[in-house]
């Protein structure tokens, strides 16, 4: 009972220093990571599941009413990944099936084992955003949710990129630098209720840094970090390799208040500075794309879905960048006084953007869930053709509204924490009321686009 009270105190009472060591409190969690067969089982399951998805898309019926791969990929998988950001951070990346072939080739010495070049380390986020833009563009323009072959080719393309990087570079350079899904998940993980962090005192006296370099027979951190270098949740995959490698038990899995990292980092994360505004802009574009009047917009661009959505995506991204710039001004920061790429407005809007993506993915999952048994039956020739159900509109609308309100309250809470943070008082020209009005306006735009 006392552990439960401490858990709720940490989650719902903002204390930047409050943490609960889950490894110490629940030893089974540590044992899960130290027994590598557990993660191997999860990875193997993922490998088989995604192989099945790709085969169904490539060789299964191309009628979306007869192919379950679409619902499994766009409904269950992607929605589950979005939900995982809040609860387990980047754990999905730790068991990601796209790295399977690359890891296997490295194990058999079929990799050049190069160090990632400077250009890749310098421009990684630009590449990742472009790749993510390509995925969003393909999802919308090619209507991937109704095209099994296209979905399979998209998954194969990601698999090819991860495999090629594994053949060229040591470790998982794909994950660390340019995986578009990994960067989005990392940005979402800044709101996670858990974090993997070192015990500083134990790491300072360590001379081997085995968590990064590895030990004989055991490879080191796949993304070149090691527990002693973890400062945020953007890059750590939560794969637990450092837990096994460290003989001092320095790595700790900590429960925290979900807003701690947003407030502490205060928009200094390069990845979030690029990913969050593009993710939000892409949401606005995807919501607009579902409206009937969008066809009028498309006719302006020679009835080209590709051209019109490209313009729409660019405009929405630019609009959100303008909102962030204006928000930074209301926070009391001028561009000349900010470090390069630093944007304090990013953590303010992160909860709202997270909510927008969750609503978008849940809409497809819940609206298609009732038809899944029938699609399954058709694909495999089962005699249950009439078995289907429809989830009423009002629960979907209510759930979306609740999620949006929670995102709005989360963003308001971050502005409150910025204003009342004792260790670092806000600038003199901090405009709290105007900032809250801006957050409310962005929420109203989401409300309009989601329910229009």
Q: Are 94 and 238 in contact (CB under 8 A)?
A: yes
pLDDT at 390: 84
Q: What is the mean pLDDT of residues 174-178?
A: 94
pLDDT(318) > 90: yes
pLDDT digits (tens, 9 = 90+) for 422-434: 556 666 667 788 8
Task: Tell me 340's DSSP state.
Answer: T
pLDDT at 413: 93
pLDDT at 385: 64
Whole-number average pLDDT of the chain? 90
Nearest to 183 by CA among 140, 229, 235: 235
pLDDT at 339: 46
Q: What is the mean pLDDT of residues 357-377?
A: 93
Query: C-alpha 74: how far from its chain's center?
Result: 15
Q: What is the mean pLDDT of residues 165-194?
A: 94
pLDDT at 149: 97
Distance of alpha carbon 283 from alpha carbon 309, whole angstroms: 12
First to last CA, the chain: 46
Q: Which of 26-40, 115-129, 412-426 has the lowest mean pLDDT?
A: 412-426
Identify the helix (H) or strand (E) that includes residue 349.
Answer: helix 345-369
Joined together, the tokens standing for residue 186 give 């990392």
> What does the angle CA 49 – CA 70 – CA 390 come to, to the nearest 5 degrees?
115
Q: Judge residue 5's burial from the number of C-beta atoms within 10 Å of its C-beta, 0-12 exposed, 13-18 middle, 19 or more buried.
A: exposed
Distance of alpha carbon 121 from alpha carbon 276, whole angstroms: 20
Q: Are 39 and 239 in contact (CB under 8 A)?
A: yes
At a CB cut-off of 8 Å and minimum separation 6, what does 408 contact? Answer: 351, 352, 355, 439, 440, 443
């Amino acid at each position: 009972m006392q552990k439960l009270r401490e858990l709720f105190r940490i989650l719902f009472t903002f204390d930047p220093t409050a943490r609960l060591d889950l490894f110490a409190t629940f030893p089974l969690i540590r044992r899960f990571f130290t027994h590598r067969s557990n993660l191997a089982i999860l990875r193997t399951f993922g490998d088989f599941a995604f192989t099945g998805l790709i085969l169904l898309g490539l060789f299964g019926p191309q009628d979306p009413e007869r192919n379950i791969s679409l619902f499994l990929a766009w409904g269950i998988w992607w929605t589950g990944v979005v939900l995982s950001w809040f609860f387990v951070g980047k754990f999905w990346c730790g068991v990601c099936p796209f790295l399977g072939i690359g890891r296997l080739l490295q194990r058999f010495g079929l990799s050049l084992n190069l160090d990632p070049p400077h250009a890749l380390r310098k421009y990684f986020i630009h590449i990742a955003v472009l790749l993510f833009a390509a995925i969003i563009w393909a999802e919308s323009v090619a209507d991937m949710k109704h095209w099994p072959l296209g979905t399979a080719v998209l998954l194969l393309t990601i698999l090819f990129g991860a495999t090629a990087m594994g053949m060229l570079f040591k470790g998982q350079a794909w994950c660390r630098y340019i995986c578009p899904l990994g960067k989005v998940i990392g940005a979402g993980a800044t709101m996670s209720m858990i974090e993997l962090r070192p015990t500083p005192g134990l790491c300072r006296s360590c001379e081997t840094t085995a968590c990064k370099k590895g030990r004989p027979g055991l490879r080191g951190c796949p993304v070149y970090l090691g527990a002693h270098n973890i400062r945020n949740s953007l890059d750590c995959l939560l794969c637990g390799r450092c837990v096994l490698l460290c003989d001092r038990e320095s790595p700790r899995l900590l429960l925290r208040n979900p807003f701690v990292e947003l407030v502490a980092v205060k928009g200094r994360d390069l990845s979030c500075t690029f990913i969050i505004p593009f993710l939000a802009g892409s949401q606005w574009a995807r919501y607009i794309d579902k409206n009937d009047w969008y066809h009028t917009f498309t006719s302006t661009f020679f009835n080209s879905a590709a051209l019109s959505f490209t313009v729409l995506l660019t405009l929405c991204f630019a609009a959100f960048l303008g909102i962030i710039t204006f928000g930074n001004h209301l926070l009391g920061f001028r561009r000349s006084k900010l470090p390069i790429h630093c944007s304090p407005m990013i953590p303010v809007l992160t909860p709202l953007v997270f909510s927008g993506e969750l609503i978008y993915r849940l809409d497809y999952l819940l609206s298609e869930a009732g038809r899944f048994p029938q699609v399954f039956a058709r694909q495999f020739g089962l005699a249950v053709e009439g078995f289907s159900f429809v989830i009423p509109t009002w629960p979907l609308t209510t759930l979306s509204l609740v999620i949006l309100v929670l995102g709005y309250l989360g963003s308001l809470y971050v502005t409150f924490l910025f204003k009342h943070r004792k260790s670092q008082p806000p600038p003199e020209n901090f405009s709290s009321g105007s900032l809250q009005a801006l957050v409310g306006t962005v929420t109203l735009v989401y409300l309009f686009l989601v329910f229009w």
